[in-house]
């Protein structure tokens, strides 16, 4: 009898915990991130068109700084293993100085409608791209896409037309909003300490409501993964579906530990695939050594971003080396062994330098790096790390991502994982590197969720 009572109590306790976790949402409050104290009166909700511009003075200053750079020879046979190869950097700088047409790229940046609106004291920049044609009787699906570091809203320029103007008549048509995270690109930087991913998520919810969206889908990679995840945790009834291509474990627990210890010997027990085994083992090399090799920047930015950031803000060549190195090694770790870092194997120099120029012309490198300090400076045991995501989720698992996340690990956080797609190719900057594959997976995930909602 005692055993039966104990079992009933345990079951009741589990049910209580499950129900409690299902109703648990992330909490936050309105902030004021503008300079000084908030003004009297309500928030200015004006939406203003915005255009990227340039000038002769801006370009002359850039060229002068390039011309006065001091090259440093790379070590013999070092390729990209010591960072950005100096010999190849000179070639990139030469192209930038003599062949890259920033004015033409400014026109490209303005090909989609750009806007700014003030939220919680800072100007938020975003693209808002509406489809040119929607079938009668149907509606475009609203989707917010959030970038990361050292990327920008420009990462999505190849993906946007595939979503707003799909070639397949059976595909869904999206209405896309691409904001710049505050402190990145053309969004104003917070003037006060404490602006982290949850604050960004809160601001972007306000942005979407201001644009008239009561429910919408969200997609993110890198910091965009965390911001959109926080959006789902803050307002699970507002996010219709969440699609991410980066999902490192936020709170490694017993299932993850057991899978690491036993997964190589018993892969089927943990649902491990051949790719999982290849990317995770041997653990010391794949999970520890590789993380150390590629995370030095993070320690700097999470502790003293203003120190190194000041130098990068003054030197366009230094800024390019710092940013473009990530587009090499984060696209494929094998690119470290190439003299040119494999940069133009997946990207064009025009696209890479356009992203660099967004950082240079807006002067946002320091504020973008501070985002690491604001997030990691509060410790790893933040409320959002403890709260599961119960919004329908899709995960695109790109094989060359910085950190490989098996399906089992993704499900620990995202309890309504609807699609998990092992992608054929691609790395960390997947939306920019493989826009067609990304568009296809967003379509697949959204169709899956929409179909399930109709059944419900």
**Rounded mean pLDDT, 392-413:** 95
Average pLDDT, the chain: 92
Is-catalytic flag, 126? no
321-362 pLDDT per residue, tens: 999 999 999 999 999 999 999 999 999 999 999 999 999 999
Across 112-126, 134-148, 170-184, 202-216, least confident range: 134-148
pLDDT at 75 over 90: yes
Quote the CA–CA distance of 307 and 141 in Å, as a whole number: 43
- Give the separation between CA 255 and CA 259, rounded to whole angstroms: 6
Task: Give the domain ranges of the chain.
Answer: 47-62+101-251+347-455
Q: Is 334 among the residues known to form the active site?
A: no
Catalytic residue among 222, 276, 351, 441: 222
19 pLDDT exceeds 90? Answer: no
> By the 8 A CB rule, do 427 and 242 touch?
no
Average pLDDT over residues 299-314: 97
Residue 418 pLDDT exceeds 80: yes
Integer Cα distance of 193 and 226 in angstroms? 19
| pLDDT (average), residues 260-280 | 87
Number of helical (H) and strand (E) elements in the chain, helices listed first: 21, 9
pLDDT at residue 9 is higher than 50: no
Mean pLDDT within 165-193 = 97
| Residue 395, token pair as written in the block | 């995960």
Active site residue 205: no
Tokens representing 79 are 């390729």
pLDDT at 275: 87
Per-residue pLDDT tens digits for 214-228: 999 999 999 999 999
Which of 146, 157, 173 shows the shortest CA–CA distance to 52?
A: 157
Q: List the CATH code of the domain at 47-62+101-251+347-455.
A: 3.40.50.1820
Instruction: Give 167's pLDDT tier (boundaries 50, 70, 90).
Output: very high
The 10s digit of each residue's pLDDT in 90-105 is 999 999 999 999 999 9
Q: pLDDT value at position 183?
A: 98
Which listed residue (125, 202, 205, 428) is catalytic? 428
Token representation of residue 60: 């002359």
pLDDT at 20: 45
Per residue in 190-239, pLDDT (tens digit) is 999 999 999 999 999 999 999 999 999 999 999 999 999 999 999 999 99
Helices (H), 119-273: 160-164, 197-210, 223-234, 254-262
CA distance 30 to 42: 13
Range in 42-51, 134-143, 230-239, 249-258 with the lowest mean pLDDT: 249-258
Identify the band that residue 22 occupies on the pLDDT scale cut at 50, 70 and 90.
Answer: low
- Collapsed DSSP state (helix, strand, coil) of residue 261: helix
From the candidates 372, 384, 404, 441, which is the catalytic residue?
A: 372
- 282-306 pLDDT, tens digit each: 876 767 888 888 899 999 999 999 9
pLDDT at 269: 83
φ/ψ of 279, rounded to 5, equals -85, -20
User: Is the model's pLDDT at 8 over the cut of 60?
Assistant: no
Percent of the chain with pLDDT over 90: 79
Instruction: Enumerate residues 6+ apart whose C-beta is below 8 A from 36.
Output: 191
Instruction: Give the pLDDT confidence score for residue 449 in this predicted structure.
Output: 97
């Amino acid at each position: 009898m005692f055993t039966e009572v104990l079992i009933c109590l345990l079951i009741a306790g589990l049910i209580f915990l499950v129900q409690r976790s299902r109703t648990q949402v992330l909490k936050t409050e309105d902030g004021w991130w503008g300079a000084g104290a908030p003004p009297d009166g309500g928030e200015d909700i004006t939406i203003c068109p915005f255009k990227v511009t340039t000038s002769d003075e801006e370009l002359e200053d850039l060229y002068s700084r390039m011309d006065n750079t001091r090259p440093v020879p790379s070590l013999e046979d070092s390729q990209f293993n010591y960072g950005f190869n100096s010999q190849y950097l000179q070639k990139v700088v030469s192209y930038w100085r003599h062949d890259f047409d920033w004015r033409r790229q400014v026109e490209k940046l303005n090909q989609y409608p750009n806007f700014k609106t003030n939220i919680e004291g800072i100007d938020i920049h975003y693209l808002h791209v509406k489809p040119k044609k929607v079938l009668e009787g149907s509606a475009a699906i609203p989707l917010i896409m959030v970038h990361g570091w050292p990327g920008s809203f420009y990462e999505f320029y190849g993906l946007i037309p595939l979503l707003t103007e799909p070639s397949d008549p059976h595909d869904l048509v999206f209405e896309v909003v691409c904001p710049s995270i505050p402190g990145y690109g053309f969004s104003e930087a917070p003037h006060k300490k404490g602006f982290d991913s949850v604050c960004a998520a809160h601001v972007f919810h306000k942005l979407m409501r201001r644009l008239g969206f009561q429910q919408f889908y969200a997609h993110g990679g890198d910091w965009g993964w965390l911001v959109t995840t926080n959006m789902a945790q803050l307002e699970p009834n507002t996010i219709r579906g969440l699609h991410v291509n980066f999902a490192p474990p936020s709170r490694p627990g017993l299932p993850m530990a057991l899978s690491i210890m036993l997964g190589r010997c018993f892969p089927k027990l943990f649902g491990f695939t051949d790719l999982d085994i290849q990317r995770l083992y041997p653990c010391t090399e794949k999970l520890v050594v590789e993380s150390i090799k590629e995370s030095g920047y993070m320690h700097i930015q999470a502790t003293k971003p203003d120190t190194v950031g000041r130098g990068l803000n003054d030197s366009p060549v230094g800024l390019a080396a710092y940013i473009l190195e990530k587009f090499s090694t984060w696209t494929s770790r094998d690119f470290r062994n190439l003299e040119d870092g494999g940069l133009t194997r997946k990207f064009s120099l025009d696209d890479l330098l356009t992203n660099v120029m967004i950082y240079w012309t807006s002067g946002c490198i320091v504020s973008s790096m501070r985002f690491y300090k604001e997030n990691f400076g509060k410790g790893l045991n933040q409320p959002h790390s403890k709260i599961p995501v119960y919004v329908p989720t899709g995960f695109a698992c790109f094989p060359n991502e910085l950190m490989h996340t098996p399906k089992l690990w993704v499900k620990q956080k995202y309890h309504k994982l609807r699609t998990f797609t092992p992608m054929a190719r691609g790395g960390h900057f997947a939306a920019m590197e493989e826009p067609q594959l990304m568009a296809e997976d967003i379509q697949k995930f959204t169709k899956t969720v929409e179909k399930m909602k109709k059944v419900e």
